[in-house]
Amino acid sequence: MKIGKATIPTSAICTSDDEHIVVRGHDLCADLIGRMSFSDYFWLLVTGQRPSAMASRVLDATLVAITEHGLVPSAQAARMTLAAAPDALQGAVAAGILGCGSVILGASETAGRLFLKIDALAREQGLSLTDAATQVVSDLRASKQAIPGYGHPQHKARDPRVARLFAVAAEAGSRGHFVALAEAVEQVLPAITGRDLRLNVSAAIPAVLLDVGFPAEALRGVPILARTAGLIGHLTEELSNPIGFALSYQATREQRYTGELPAGVTIKHAE
């Protein structure tokens, strides 16, 4: 069935024959394997260009920052899935990645789009970053939308990864424009929302990446790639230290059934 205008599929990423594999214009074997780090290669695949030394350093820092944060929900889902289906590592990784959604890790992209909107407004109307941030954040607030990338359930003071990412970006020579913009948002938030929401890692990541030229469309890919590495770490540990079912048991130890019981049936809760 033809959905949309049927076309010949085209792609600028890769071609190959018996002897050669060409990726983004380079010979994979002669030019890339052993000559480029995996994260630089990720940049090349996504953008078509090799990263600058500055971009390379910043991308690595963001990936390392977001890879691992303990037994978060996606790590739990992955470990429970491996416990139930130990033959299919790929399924357990997939189950974990499916938790990289709008609420948890997807904020890197939505925060990035928020920053681009504020930046565009500032440039179009000749506003300071603070004034542009005030206007955009107030609009979001008026329509009862969340402000992505600010506030953290555990790190009430600023998420410690934020300062470190900003420092790495500065050391690497980044201009810091979107970092300043992210901090402008942080400064105007308390007055607008009445809550002292501090920058978290999901806002710091797009700030430093946009500053080094990473494309906004691919921002959501950064936490997904990073978390995949973290999930593989957890799943490798699960093989020798299985806790998937223990997590599931603990999760429901205090659960309460709020429905009805059939006449004459009682449920013993010793479990």
Q: Which of residues 171-200 bind its own copies (CB under 8 A)?
A: 171
d(CA 79, CA 245) in angstroms, rounded, equals: 8
Contact at 8 Å (CB) between 211 and 178?
yes
**Which of residues 146, 175, 195, 217 is near its own copies by CB under 8 A?**
217
Residues 87-116 that bind its own copies (CB under 8 A): 87-95, 97-106
Q: Based on CB atoms, which residue is closest to its own copies, 140 or 229? A: 229
Residue 146 binds to its own copies (criterion: CB under 8 A): no
d(CA 97, CA 236) in angstroms, rounded, equals: 16
Q: Based on CB atoms, which residue is closest to its own copies, 93 or 182? A: 93
**Which of residues 7, 142, 143, 144 is near its own copies by CB under 8 A?**
7
Residues 22-41 that bind its own copies (CB under 8 A): 22-34, 36-39, 41
**Which of residues 10, 124, 142, 194 is near its own copies by CB under 8 A?**
10
d(CA 96, CA 75) in angstroms, rounded, equals: 6
Query: Residue 202 has which token pair?
Result: 């999901």
Residue 64 binds to its own copies (criterion: CB under 8 A): yes
CA 155 to centroid of chain Cα atoms: 17
d(CA 51, CA 232) in angstroms, rounded, equals: 26
Q: Based on CB atoms, which residue is closest to its own copies, 81 or 134? A: 81
**Helices 73-84 & 244-251 angle (0-180, nearest 10):** 120
Number of amino acids touching its own copies (CB under 8 A): 144
**Which of residues 143, 157, 200, 212 is near its own copies by CB under 8 A?**
157
**Helices 53-66 & 201-211 angle (0-180, nearest 10):** 170
Task: Find the shortest distance in angstroms from Cβ 134 to its own copies.
Answer: 25
Phi, psi of 267 (to 5 degrees): -115, 125
Residue 143 binds to its own copies (criterion: CB under 8 A): no
Q: Based on CB atoms, which residue is closest to its own copies, 172 or 184? A: 172
Residues 68-87 that bind its own copies (CB under 8 A): 68-74, 76-77, 80-81, 83-87
Residues 80-84: contacts with CB within 8 Å, 24+ apart? Answer: 80/244, 80/245, 80/247, 80/248, 81/244, 82/235, 82/238, 82/239, 82/244, 83/238, 83/242, 83/244, 83/245, 83/248, 84/244
Q: Based on CB atoms, which residue is closest to its own copies, 144 or 253? A: 253
Q: Based on CB atoms, which residue is closest to its own copies, 9 or 126? A: 9
Q: Based on CB atoms, which residue is closest to its own copies, 94 or 140? A: 94
